[in-house]
Amino acid sequence: MIYAFDTYYYESSAKTVCIAFENWNSETESFIYSENTKVTSDYESGAFYKRELPCILSLLKKIDLQNGDLIIVDGYVTLDNNGKIGLGGYLYQSLDKKYPIIGIAKNSFNSEDCQRRTVFRGESKTPLFLTAIGIDVDETHSNIINMHGNYRIPALLKKLDQLTREKDELNVRN
């Protein structure tokens, strides 16, 4: 199973959603998980993971990960060639390096990273930025290109983004 996570922030809470799907070319999700939590830290430039990682780890408690499962995060896994890691790298460590983590970012990060790939989908001239750990980044690159959807952002990841932004009754978990 492939689990894709995204979080959207409101005033004092965050909505984290996970879409689970069977294969890279799946057109529809198998499951949707969602959770609202209190924001435990302010946004800190260069330390995005401090805000989002607790949200993802909390939602992961609802999911029974199995060997062979993959996780996608909205962001970076690695940030440079010197070993600096992003949200996905911290998630990988938090999960005892048991599950491959794939980071798909919409905005570039201004450093050299030999593990970062640009992904052009559809007719878009604007790339997505791919990083990964625990899985071959080049194999993942072709999988992202071939995900369902004709536009820059694959259809299921676009749906994920939209679901996080839908304001629902905020039953916030502390």
**Burial of residue 146 (number of CB atoms within 10 Å: 0-12, 13-18, 19+):** exposed
2-169 has which CATH code?
Answer: 3.30.2170.10
Number of helices (H), then strands (E), in the chain:
4, 8
Q: What is the C-alpha end-to-end distance of the chain, expressed in Å?
A: 28
Task: Kindly report the pTM of this predicted structure.
Answer: 0.93
- Mean pLDDT of the 81-89 span: 95
Q: What is the pLDDT of residues 25-58, one digit of tens each?
A: 999 999 999 999 988 767 666 667 788 999 999 9
Q: Where exactly are the structural domains of the chain?
A: 2-169
